[in-house]
Every structure is written in structure tokens, then in C-alpha cells.
Amino acid sequence: MKHLPRILIVEDEPAIAELIAVNLRHGGFDPVVAEDSVSAQRELDAVLPDAILLDWMLPGQSGLALARHWRKQARTKSIPILMLTARGDEPDKVAGLDAGADDYITKPFSTQELLARIRAVLRRRAPESVNDSVAVGALVLDAATHRISYQGQELKLGPTEFKLLHYLMKHAERVHSRSSLLDKVWGDHVFIEERTVDVHVKRLREALGTAGTMVETVRGAGYRLTAMAANNPVVAAVSGAQSSA
């Protein structure tokens, strides 16, 4: 059964909350409604949503205060938050974004705009999916069977190294910075150090064996996967020296 993105709607006006929920269902989402900060926290404690639509003006704790609170909590700090409010002045927008909101939607808004903003936030927060196959020189990755081979010999990679290699192979000969690899492979909702990429590149090279020279270090820039290194002994030697750096 296909997973529908779960959207927590924190809105104290029942008519507005129900209207948003209906439109989200029609748009392919699974909406859950909370009317205040207490019920919103209860929903978060039960099941983490894929995104939160958060009204600024709420009884008790404001949406602004809630956003700040959730951004400080390890369990909720990575959930995309879209602030809903009638306050459209620039200082208010800045305040909402500074509180941790990923986007800011001013009432009244169209259904299509709301759905488009949610999809955009989810795309930005999602790591690149592994759903196809690719070959670079004698290195072949079959995503359907989760198999990798080099010169006909099957290789064994861990899940993170598999995703990293798949992305590098799909974008071969390009240089990728550590931060871009974090966004595309891990997803920008994952809060880890950029040096973590170096650790996984090292593991990837070790798992690839002789094909490890295809993963080049471009000093001051990042990493690149190239077929040239495997075919050129000089390049392979240089790349091998870089891999130990």
C-alpha cells in the first residue's frame, strides 16, 4: 500500500482546519488535525508527520513559540514546518522563518498554492531515491536487484555506500561537494557533519576494491566518479594516493 505523506494541521478554527484537511486528502496527503499546542504535541508524540501546517495564532502557546520549541527538540527538529497566518507584513514573515519555519503562507491562500508549497518542502527534505540502474565503464549498478559488479565480479556494499555510489554514478564526471552529497544522498533533513561523507567515501573505495580508484578526491571541491581512472594507470595511481588523504 502506497504511503501517503502525513501532514499535521495545527489550526484552532474548525471550519478552516476541515477545509484544509479535505483539500489535502484530495491532493494525496494524509491529514491529521490538532486545535491547539497540547493536542498538537500529543499527535507528534504518537506519530511523527512528514510536515506540519502551523497556524500562527493559537490559544495558549502561539505557533511561533511552538515552532521554536520543536526546532530545539532532537525528535522534531527536522520536520518541515509551514507557517499559516493572516500576518503578511515582512517583519512577521521574517519572525516566522527565524522561528524555524521552512515556508510561510499568508491567508487567504489558494488550495493549489498550498499543495504546491507542501510538495516543494517535502522534495527539498527528501533524499534522492534509488530507483533505476546505471553503468560507468565496467562498473554496473542494478538498483532493482541491489547488486553491483565490476568487470563481472559482484561487489558487496552497505546501504549508505550503495546510495552514495548510485548518486555518483548517475552524475559521473561531475564534482560534488560534501554538502551537496549530504543533501542528495542523506537528505537535508539529516543533521550530520560533512566529514561523515569522507568516512563513507573511504568505505566505498574499500568495498569497490580495484574500482575504488574511480572515486576521485578533487581537493578543495569534493568528489567525482570517473571511468577514466580505471582505464588510466597514471590517473589510477594518483587517485589511489588521494584516497588515503
What is residue 240's predicted lDDT score, i.e. its pLDDT? 42
pTM metric for this prediction: 0.54
At 25-84, the pLDDT tens digits run 999 999 999 999 999 999 998 888 999 999 988 888 888 899 999 988 888 888 899 988
Q: How many CB atoms sit inside 10 A of residue 8's CB?
A: 23
Considering the chain, what is the average pLDDT of its residues? Answer: 84
**Which residues face 154 on adjacent strands?**
149
Host H or E run for residue 170: helix 159-170
What is residue 223's predicted lDDT score, i.e. its pLDDT? 96
DSSP string across 91-114: HHHHHHHHTT-SEEEESS--HHHH
Rounded CA separation 4/31 (Å): 9
In order of 65, 129, 203, 222, the CA distances from 13 in angstroms are 19, 37, 52, 49
At 5-21, the pLDDT tens digits run 999 999 999 999 999 99
Rounded CA separation 68/100 (Å): 6
Place of cell 560534501: 178
Q: Which three cell numbers stand for residue 45?
A: 508524540
